[in-house]
Amino acid sequence: MKTIYFDNNATTRVDPEVFEAMVPFFQDLYGNPSSMHHKGGEVAQHIRRARRQLADLLGCEPEEVIYTASGTESDNTALWSAIRGRPDKKHLVTSRVEHSAIHNNVALLRRLGYLVTELGVDKYGRLDMGELLSALTPDTALVSLHWANNETGVLFPVEEIAGLCRERDIIFHTDAVQAVGKIPMKLKDSKIDMLSLAGHKLHAPKGIGALYARQGLKFLPFMVGGHQERGRRGGTENVPYIVGLGKAAELALKRLPEEDTRVRAMRDRLEEGLLKIPYSIVNGDRKERLPNTTNISFEYIEGESILFHLSHFGICASSGSACTSGSLEPSHVLRAMGVPFTAAHGSIRLSLCPYNTEDEVDFVLEKFPPIVEKLRALSPFWKDGKPSDSALLTCDTDNCSVCG
């Protein structure tokens, strides 16, 4: 059965060119880059090249790139470096729609006695800049907000926010795991202090990430050990994966125009086709979002049931973040946006990449409507081609698309 992979926000396949670039470092180029002999030196030069490749994608200096094992490690490093570096400040600001790597860290900091402000979002997943400004105080050590939401693709104005934080001497960090490689970046022209990324979101392997840390920023390592990464992250470098991330970054930079044109056009056509299904709504701002992502709710049925039936045809999608897919609770992102309970449970995220094709979009549009029709026929909230009376009684929002 052919696989149609529309779940690229969860992870991506390793690009063949990335794999080929990595292969020599498992057998031939096996030296420790810290070693003084030639086997170490030849490997060290490849790390320097990979660091430059990633810096070019980010629009920063190579010395500002710190390699980590994941986006989660990068997030942890940024948060704890900022908090430990300003022990006199006990307040931080984030949002209610962050990834669990930030969300759960914030909960821990709250238990440790920190004051945390979690900003809300409107029904389109957008921040209220007035609420953000009101939240900033002289006691604020850190503001951490994602660049792109992992479930809806909605973009936050992080460069503007970083500028506001710099004016107030507040460190600004952004989780850009979903954004890197999909939208242009030029960090050297921004006020962003720290930025997290993960290789497996841009066709590099799992197990490699990076943190951008602005030159001159006070930085305290999270992973303490040897002198690696200029003393900012201990542990022998994962050379094959670092090289792979470098090659993936080089390819992503070349493909940015394709992301904004061909991939965006496929996403838009897929979305418009699915919206022809009755009682379907797009979750999130349809303008300020990633070019590859759509999140659509199909009301009165379960998203997990849709995914099961899609998988029968080889179609891979998700009902939200892969990091919370085991939960039976509706997405915290969609609930924060005020999406009705009957719609939040039926949400499906489809995320594309340059590997996807128009034929795949056609196939999904062919198979999707009958699945929804079949599941609604089995739903207690659906009767005679429309929501049943019991469905209307379960509505829990003032903005329901059915009852108004």
Catalytic residues: 323
User: What distance in Å separates the CA atoms of residue 192 and residue 347, rounded to the nearest whole number?
Assistant: 32
Residues 48, 51, 52, 58: what is their CA dihedral angle, to the nearest 10 degrees? -170
Indicate the angle between helix axes 303-312 and 358-378, nearest 10 degrees: 130
User: 161 with 130: CB under 8 angstroms?
Assistant: no
What lies within 8 Å, CB to CB, of 178 at 6+ separation is 9, 146, 147, 148, 149, 150, 153, 201, 290, 293
- Which residue, 91, 98, 217, is CA-closest to 154? 98
- Consecutive H or E run containing 95: strand 91-95
Place of tokens 């305290």: 220
Query: Tokens in use for 256?
Result: 């940015």
Instruction: Please provide residue 384's backbone torsions phi and psi, each rounded to the nearest 5 degrees.
Output: 55, 40
Cα angle vertex 163, ends 144, 176, to 5°?
40
Query: Tokens in use for 282?
Result: 């797009």
- Consecutive H or E run containing 165: helix 158-167
- Distance from the Cα of residue 102 to its chain's centroid: 12
- Which residue, 148, 147, 146, 143, is CA-closest to 132? 143
Helix residue ranges, H only, 215-286:
228-231, 239-258, 264-274
